[in-house]
Structure 1
Amino acid sequence: MLLQHGWTVQELWWQVPDDFSQVTVYNRIAWVERQVAQAIDAEAGACRLLIGKSLGSLACTIAADRNIAAAWLTPCPEHRPSGPCSPGAQAPTPLIGGSGDKLWDSRIAESLHHDVLEVPSADHSLELADDAAGSVDVLRHVVSRMDRFIGSLSR
């Protein structure tokens, strides 16, 4: 989708340490922030957008501090003392999650005054249990929302 809108894309693939589940929340956040900051810095000022899912949403403070637009899919609010996104983010920041995701907290998401898409009954994978066709419809809806968001940004 980003390529269709003419964006250059740098993908970040996590090499999560084996003991990551034993690491404190603050150290997990620091680890993600280091990974994302290195990727942004490598772009030498060309980074205009961050998109992250789940663990990637822990980079929300970096996006807010650098005034970079961001989209967070299934953000992890319980891993972030301030919620799934920095409340001080000025750049556009949609939050997308499912009401069936035990990590999603719609009250926190709504309190941040960002564009929120809560998919009824969707889990952390943004899928509907035992409903393949419904899950495809969810994906179509999420992709459409992301397409509009990306189209609204200037490269």
Structure 2
Amino acid sequence: MDAEAPLARHAVVIPGGMHGPRAGLLMYAGEAVARWGATVELIEWSPPQGLSLEERPAWVREQVTAVAGRLPAPLLIGKSLGTFAASVAADRGLPAVWLTPLLTVPACTDALRRATAPFLLVGGTADIFWDGALARELTPHTLEVDGADHGMMVPGPLRGSAEVLGRVTTAIETFLDRVVRCPGVSPGRADLPDQSG
């Protein structure tokens, strides 16, 4: 799983079930990759009403494959529902960033176990879908935030949640810098502290 990732000239941003790829964590994740010089593809969707938990992985896979399937070795970035695309990453050997992954759902976890390319997992201890011990078992690249919920928000003044957003984006940048090869960027930039580990 720690094999060097392929050159990421493209990234696919995969939304969750509530917000699109231009909001919150995904907006910043997409911007981080764009600043590396990769072309960013945004998936927009409206999950069908009444889709059962068992049907969701196949539906997500179909949506993501339609976009990622036409790109050479893209980096996948997904949140929540979008982390069911871990099966696409596993099948194609693609690096990935999974924000608030559904670690309590076997379809997601099984796909993560099959991964051959490196991936980053980001979650919070107040998220019912997060399992920190399992995350660290699956990958050495993790960011766990104490008290953060499924939206990576923490209790108290909003500046605390803004600080969490900063930690998440730094972890993504560090992962890109140290693990994923991106065009036009030399590895080992000294300006990024280690946030994923």
The equivalent of 1:96 in structure 2 is 122
Is 2:155 aligned against 1:124? no
The equivalent of 2:102 in structure 1 is 76
How far apart in 1 are the matches of 2:110 and 2:169? 20
How far apart in 1 are the matches of 2:177 and 2:155? 31
Structure 1 unmatched runs, 5+: none
Aligned residue among 60, 67, 92 for 1:32? 60
The Cα RMSD (Å) is 1.6
CA contact (8 A) 2:129 2:150 kept: yes
CA contact (8 A) 1:98 1:126 kept: yes
CA contact (8 A) 1:58 1:80 kept: no
How far apart in 2 are the matches of 1:123 and 1:35? 26
CA contact (8 A) 1:95 1:114 kept: no
Report the identity percentage.
35
CA contact (8 A) 1:85 1:112 kept: no
SS of match in other structure, 2:47: coil
The equivalent of 2:10 in structure 1 is none
Is 2:185 aligned against 1:154? no
How far apart in 1 are the matches of 2:149 and 2:137? 21
Instruction: Note the alpha carbon deviations across 1:1-44, whole angstroms, 9 max, x for none.
Output: 11111000001122211222xx1x2311000011111111232x
Cα distance, 1:47 vs. partner?
Answer: 3.6
> Which structure has more RCO (C-alpha within 8 Å, separation ≥ 6)?
2
Larger relative helix fraction? 1
How far apart in 2 are the matches of 1:136 and 1:122? 11
Figure out how many residues of one structure are paired with residues of the other and give that number: 150
How far apart in 2 are the matches of 1:65 and 1:37? 11
Aligned residue among 20, 37, 40 for 1:9? 40
Instruction: Note the alpha carbon deviations across 1:92-126, whole angstroms, 9 max, x for none.
Output: 10100000111111122122134111101001011
How far apart in 2 are the matches of 1:65 and 1:131? 42
- Which consecutive aligned stretches of 4+ in structure 1 deviate over 3 angstroms post-superposition? none
Q: TM-score, normalised on structure 1?
A: 0.89
Instruction: Note the alpha carbon deviations across 1:36-81, whole angstroms, 9 max, x for none.
Output: 11111232xx242000010110111110110000010000122334
